[in-house]
Copies of this chain bind each other. A is one copy, B any other.
Amino acid sequence: MKRDAVIQVAAQFFAHHGYHNTSLDDIAKALDVSKPTIYYYVPNKEQLLFECFVAGLEPIRTALRDVKVSKEPGRERLNTVLRQYAQAVASDYGWCMVIAEHQDLSPSMSSHIRTLKVEIDQGIRRLLREGVKDGSIQPCDVKMTAFAMAGALNWIAHWYRANQGMTAPQIADAFVTIFEEGLRPRAARRKSATRSTRPDSSKGLS
């Protein structure tokens, strides 16, 4: 589908240059079509961002749905979702998914996006609660924990570069370990964490 090509190219441009620094001219040129052609597939720039957002979010929603019927303990199911989440954020659509904000969107689209985001957040919180209930997760502030996880994972979109350093699944695993184990030493340590693969590159803030 050409429509998908439009959306993917848009996502890549948005991720590299930002939403506002990407003109439809840029996208048109990259696709080697004229600007009005884009309007044939998408009604406006805002919708383009929205489509990128949805494309990125979809796999996470699917993972949340899949996990609902699983028999595994909550912590395992949460980890499955987090792994999928990390992969989504590291995809072409990750950046759009993460920065799509009310700031650049009309009220109606903004609330639409908010609904989708809330759905994800609630899904994660539910898994946390279920994990606490079944004993696989220790009691915690569910809301804050969901925020911390989302933040850590979303941030991947800001520093991840495909084909450089770790792959998305590797990052997901590292993060899962961090969130599972915590920093405080346990009386009986059973598993030693892996070392960083590229200790030189450092840009946690960005």
Q: Which residues of A contact B (CB under 8 A)?
A: 16-21, 75, 78, 97-98, 101, 103-104, 113-114, 117-118, 120-122, 124-125, 131, 135-156, 158-159, 171, 174-175, 177-189, 192-199, 201-206
Contacts and interface: CB of A to CB of B under 8 A. Distances in A.
B175 A114 contact: no
Contacts of A158: 101, 151
Contacts of A117: 203-206
A136 to B, nearest CB: 7
Nearest to A18: B103
14 contacts: A75-B184, A101-B206, A117-B203, A124-B204, A138-B189, A140-B178, A141-B195, A146-B202, A147-B204, A152-B155, A154-B155, A154-B205, A180-B183, A186-B187
Given A141-B194, A150-B204, A198-B143, A104 B186 contact: no
Chain A interface main SS type: helix
A141 B177 contact: yes
State the 9 A-B residue pairs at the shortest beta-carbon distance, nearest first.
A182-B182, A151-B155, A143-B196, A150-B204, A121-B204, A20-B20, A18-B103, A117-B205, A151-B152
